[in-house]
A and B are shown apart, each in its own frame.
Chain A
Amino acid sequence: MEALIRLTGITRFFGQFCAVRNLSLELMPGEILGLLGPNGAGKSTTMRILSGCLRASQGSVEVNGFDLFKEPLLAKRSIGYLPETPPLYPELTVDEYLGFCARLRAVKRSETVAALDRAKSLCGLEKTGSRLIRNLSKGFQQRVGIAQAIIHNPRVIILDEPTNGLDPNQIIEIRQLIRTLGERHGVILSTHILPEVQSVCDRVLILKNGRLVYTEYLVQMNDSENNAVRIRLDQSSEEAAVADLEGVAGVTALGNNRFSIRLDTGCSIPALVKQIVQRDWGLLELVSEHQNLEQIFYRLTTTEENDS
């Protein structure tokens, strides 16, 4: 399958400061890609380069088969972009604004009304068409921002922190909307809310200091490392005794009768529990220690700055 977006060796300098360094990535149709990273990691810069708002110092971007820097007008037809702050004109009504965006994105005049209706119904804006954008709440303004990004039915949708400033109900709605969009389009979204990535994305990329430090499919990530548990015992026992249990590959004592146990691939957690109970060690606590996104994120983004 042909990639919708192919980023090759993108580097971007702001003066001496390097915001993105040698970044390469691909986005497939029907894929939702989550871009994660601490503040200043280069997420927004990457998205602005992808959308054509910013030129890269080096490297190339291909969108739907067109080079973004050499054939910008053709490439940009396939892009819908929501910047960090939604690009709204407060003096226009929602309909006027979306109509302008449709014409800007080369939607045919005869199809404009249908495009407007589709975008508005997807974003829940059916009843706000004649209202001034200035008078809308922050959440609705954000929805209008998303509506302008999908008005021309683009193959690639780039969303920079789409749930920023929304209330919890709206966040759930927007996540559902993103999942719906992800069925037919390629979506790249950036966020610093980790559960959002887990609930919405197919694949996660973590950026740090402008470099790609992690990339993994979420399904695989959840599977790969769930063979570790952390236990707390009532009885004091030796590390060696725990290590003698059947199916245990390694043990680390954490103090206060707490141990972190890595299991052999063949060993299940219930089997381990059975052994502990048989030995009457007084199991107080057992936590599956599969490495979640939060831990990966924390580990990758707080390590020493040795790559500058």
Chain B
Amino acid sequence: MLAIFGKELRSLFLSPLAWSLMTTVQLVLAWLFLVQLEQYLQIQPKLAGLENGPGVSALVVAPLLDSAAVAFMLLAPLLTMGMFSRESGNGTLDLLFSSPVSMTAIVLGKYFAVLSVLSVMLILVALMPFSLLLGTRPDMGSLAAALIALALASAAYTAVGTWISSMTQQPAVAAVSSYALLLLLWIIDLTGSGEVSSLLQQISLSSHFQRMLSGLVSTADIAYFILLTAATLILSIHRLEHLREQT
């Protein structure tokens, strides 16, 4: 597994894709961060008069990490799209299949390689709220909750992307399908009220993410992300096993 992890990581950083994605996301999020900070500074004198008014965590950090979650959702499929689709297109999947490594090792090796790239981005994004420490004292508890939420969401995005990538030979198809599934999971709770709506809230990525972003860390939300990650990874392993039966 380590061999595959190392090789994948090398390939990801050898291609300009990872670098350009990281640059783009960093630029966009930095801009958003500065805009939020500017707005906060304008209304800050008024807020100071309020008792229990919202602080810098709620007005700057939360919106920033919320945008980061959407940005990561758009970016994860681009990193995962080639994971298996390019290998089966190139014929290099046969190299992995004929080697003494298990399907689980192949899937996990590749998965953690992409997740490492996302983790680097996560750290870069996290530096922005931490820079607030220079002038103020943000709520470290809610910041930690939000960062955990973003990490869990990244893990889930990557797992979904991994699964979709194992199902097609064309990277572009994998990317678009992953977007479709992730976006659907993100916006599926945008319905009215009622029984169905509460069920949809349960399966929606954004409702679980928003709760954690507001500083509320519950086992149910963490379990949701872990279950989604584990389920799609197991599906990827089965999909690869199936590939040997079928093609």
The chain A residues found within 8 Å of chain B, CB to CB, are 48, 51-55, 72-74, 76-77, 79, 81, 83-89, 91-92, 96, 100-101, 103-106, 148
Contact A77 B100 (CB under 8 A): yes
Contact B7 A100 (CB under 8 A): yes
Contact B11 A104 (CB under 8 A): no
Contact B100 A76 (CB under 8 A): yes
If the complex has contacts A48-B94, A103-B3, are A76 and B99 also in contact, measured as CB distance less than 8 A? yes
Cβ-based interface call for B90 (8 A): yes
Query: B94: which of A72, A87, A105 is its contact (CB, 8 Å)?
Result: A87
Query: A52: which of B2, B4, B92, B98 is its contact (CB, 8 Å)?
Result: B98
Classify chain B's interface size: 20 to 34
The chain B residues found within 8 Å of chain A, CB to CB, are 2-4, 6-7, 10-11, 14-15, 90-102, 244-245, 247
A140 to B99, CA, bound (A): 22
Contact A73 B100 (CB under 8 A): yes
Nearest residue, chain A, Cβ from B106: A104
Contact A148 B95 (CB under 8 A): yes
Instruction: Enumerate chain B residues within 8 angstroms of A55, measured Cβ to Cβ.
Output: 244-245
B2, B3, B95 interface centre (most CB from chain A within 10 Å): B95
If the complex has contacts A54-B247, A87-B90, A100-B3, are A79 and B10 also in contact, measured as CB distance less than 8 A? no
If the complex has contacts A76-B100, A100-B7, A104-B99, are A54 and B92 also in contact, measured as CB distance less than 8 A? no
Instruction: Enumerate chain A residues within 8 angstroms of B7, measured Cβ to Cβ.
Output: 89, 92, 100
4 further interface pairs, Cβ-Cβ under 8 Å (given A53-B244, A91-B11, A92-B14): A74-B100, A76-B99, A92-B11, A106-B100
Contact A88 B92 (CB under 8 A): yes
Contact A52 B3 (CB under 8 A): no
Instruction: Enumerate chain A residues within 8 angstroms of B244, measured Cβ to Cβ.
Output: 53-55
A196 to B92, CA, bound (A): 26
If the complex has contacts A100-B3, A103-B3, A104-B3, are A87 and B102 also in contact, measured as CB distance less than 8 A? no
Instruction: Enumerate chain A residues within 8 angstroms of B2, measured Cβ to Cβ.
Output: 103
Contact B102 A85 (CB under 8 A): no
Nearest residue, chain A, Cβ from B11: A91
A77 to B90, CA, bound (A): 23
A103 to B3, CA, bound (A): 6
Could you list some 28 contacts between A and B, CB below 8 A? Answer: A51-B98, A52-B97, A52-B98, A53-B93, A53-B94, A53-B244, A54-B244, A55-B244, A55-B245, A76-B99, A76-B100, A77-B100, A83-B94, A85-B91, A87-B90, A87-B93, A87-B95, A88-B90, A89-B11, A89-B90, A89-B92, A91-B14, A92-B11, A92-B14, A104-B3, A104-B4, A105-B100, A106-B100
Instruction: Enumerate chain B residues within 8 angstroms of A100, measured Cβ to Cβ.
Output: 3, 6-7
Contact A104 B95 (CB under 8 A): yes
Instruction: Enumerate chain B residues within 8 angstroms of A103, measured Cβ to Cβ.
Output: 2-3, 6
Instruction: Enumerate chain A residues within 8 angstroms of B95, measured Cβ to Cβ.
Output: 81, 83, 87, 101, 104, 148
A76 to B99, CA, bound (A): 6
A79 to B90, CA, bound (A): 21
Contact B98 A53 (CB under 8 A): yes
Instruction: Enumerate chain A residues within 8 angstroms of B6, measured Cβ to Cβ.
Output: 100, 103
- Give me the 10 closest cross-chain CB pairs, A-B, nearest first: A103-B3, A87-B95, A76-B100, A81-B98, A87-B92, A51-B98, A53-B97, A104-B99, A85-B91, A83-B94
Nearest residue, chain B, Cβ from A75: B100
Contact A79 B98 (CB under 8 A): yes
A88 to B87, CA, bound (A): 10
Instruction: Enumerate chain A residues within 8 angstroms of B97, measured Cβ to Cβ.
Output: 51-53
Instruction: Enumerate chain A residues within 8 angstroms of B96, measured Cβ to Cβ.
Output: 104
Instruction: Enumerate chain B residues within 8 angstroms of A88, measured Cβ to Cβ.
Output: 90, 92
CB distance from A243 to the nearest CB of B (A): 57
CB distance from A111 to the nearest CB of B (A): 14
